[in-house]
Structure 1
């Protein structure tokens, strides 16, 4: 590769965003509830992260987990969340929506318009579309600057051949960012197979709870915390840098 692909870290907390920054990530995708694919973070998190994180941050705009078929009220929520990101001075937003037949919802254009001068990424809703090649063209027409994809598979490695096809189709018209299941151990393989412009991962690790008392009856409330690891972010960044040497 002639230039190093960028590394984006999906951060589900302030601590994860700061770990991404310390580890050398190029950009953060800020969200909440990573376990359900991510939803829009709270206004409080938005305010504090904007104050403390210096590298570019894009905010995930997704009103709920589940599918990407949204009612008009959901679009109203997303428009207002985007307005909040604009007001706080964020670098970009991450959007995506489909209609019932798996096509890119044209109302996404309203979200791009609301973002104004902010950058816009189309998220993995494209992986749930009925025709990814056609969806990529729709995303291009919306004016998005990149699309995040696993190639329609559970992981970017499994969907590497599809991602490679999207990269070829995209050319220099839009950036294709590979994501889902990427860690430092498989990052080089994924990027060599896909030739993707950017790479996305959470770099998560489990941090044991510091609570001295734990109620043994609360089996449904796991006390341990998942957050991005500075060491794993550094390892992912080093793997990307190594691509340029070959």
Structure 2
């Protein structure tokens, strides 16, 4: 499964045309991704046919959220659902690095019936195995986007392989992201066994997160993923 970051309607159309299986829709790429406008969400959902997971992140000042932040996030989830959104991306922690279970349950309640990715807040968890055990209790959470606690997924490949092996079939799937592209994704798949991949900058013109998606780069990654890294 190949998930591609999109920040605009044009991105989403190109991603679908050149091989994405799913889109992660965000704005503020260089800040790690924030919630896109409801107009953007509606336009993308009306235009593409592949699944779209919409980022729920109100600001880039960390992953510890106040009651006011949670109120905004609940409101964003409701608005996204009104324009047909059924899949979202979120993540939240407590001070110290444990997952904010109360906040998570509050947002999952607002997202009743939606499929959820727990995003790279996971990489800042103080105990990733305990975090996976907790997330495994919520069937809504189908994916955990992670680089194994390292700056890039190739650097975190050992941890990712361990998480994948330990929780396969009994929890969210590992969705490996950060630093993956045509140059290394084949080796990564072979080393870890992970076949759910998330790409962003590497499939853009010049690997620039603010540039448009490059069809040739995305096609190259798509071909590698389609053959399972072999």
Over the residues paired in the alignment, what is the CA RMSD in angstroms? 1.8
Give the unaligned 5+ runs of structure 1.
Answer: 1-5, 209-223
- Out of 112, 115, 118, which is 2:114 matched to? 118
Question: Given the alignment, which residue of 134, 159, 163 partners 2:156?
Answer: 159
- The partner residue of 1:241 within 205, 223, 226 is 226
Matches within 5 A, 1:1-246: 6-106=1-101, 107-143=103-139, 144-173=141-170, 174-202=172-200, 203-206=203-206, 225-243=210-228, 246=230
Counterparts of 2:155 and 2:129, CA distance in 1: 18
Q: Per chain length, whose mean CA-contact separation is higher, i.e. which structure has more relative contact order (CA < 8 Å, sep 6+)? A: 1
> Normalised by the size of structure 2, how large is the TM-score?
0.93
CA contact under 8 A between 2:24 and 2:55: conserved in structure 1?
yes
Structure showing greater radius of gyration is 1
- 5+ long unaligned stretches in structure 2: none
Q: Is the 8 A contact 2:195 2:225 kept in 1?
A: no
- Measure how far apart 1:93 and its partner are: 0.3
The CA deviation at 1:91 is 3.3
CA gap of 1:41–1:113, structure 2 versus 1, over 3 A, is same
Name the TM-score, length of structure 1 as normaliser. 0.87
